[in-house]
Structure 1
């Protein structure tokens, strides 16, 4: 099925939920995890449209890797309402080396499955994905 060169298989639900976030805005964010038992990336958590960026960042486990997408709304200097979809690769320093390697080797394949990502961030601690950093990358 999947090998370390191509990364993990991606569960269909990941793509379906991402399309809902992108097209219908049914979710504010999606947290994904690799389920090693079934060798697939799966949906771990869906953030409701009214949830905040703080709700999103507090959904990450402190010592385990994850992937996530976040639909970031902002207002430009010209007062235009905009939105960008962020892909965040979360690999805290405290996570296991094997897990970091697995997520790193599977990231590109997984990202290719999610058509419409506009900005990518990699974070090893919460400060690397602070609201200010995300806002500065969005504009």
Structure 2
């Protein structure tokens, strides 16, 4: 899974309209989020750092909920934007989830193990697991 990392407001206009998951590495205004949703109509999730999450208005939260877009709290640890504009979640994470599902492990056990073994945050793990559940349904 690829997460497009966006470092500035100006960069929103250059995004591919097919982006599904975007990490905003700056403090977004309401207008920035509206612009992002307009620029990327297929967007499913927007990730922002914990410190910025508190500054997102309730109206934007409701707007995203109505659009079925998840607002995820978290960071992309160790990512260097100058090397790659995407943060890649390793396929091993997905394989481990699938393996544990097949073994009959509960969602809580799977989530706990993935959190421990990867540098992903709880919201992102929950998002991945919900996407995986849809893929297996």
**Structures share fold, TM-score greater than 0.5:** no
Higher strand fraction (1 or 2)? 1
Normalised by the size of structure 2, how large is the TM-score?
A: 0.31
Higher helix fraction (1 or 2)? 2
Normalised by the size of structure 1, how large is the TM-score?
A: 0.31
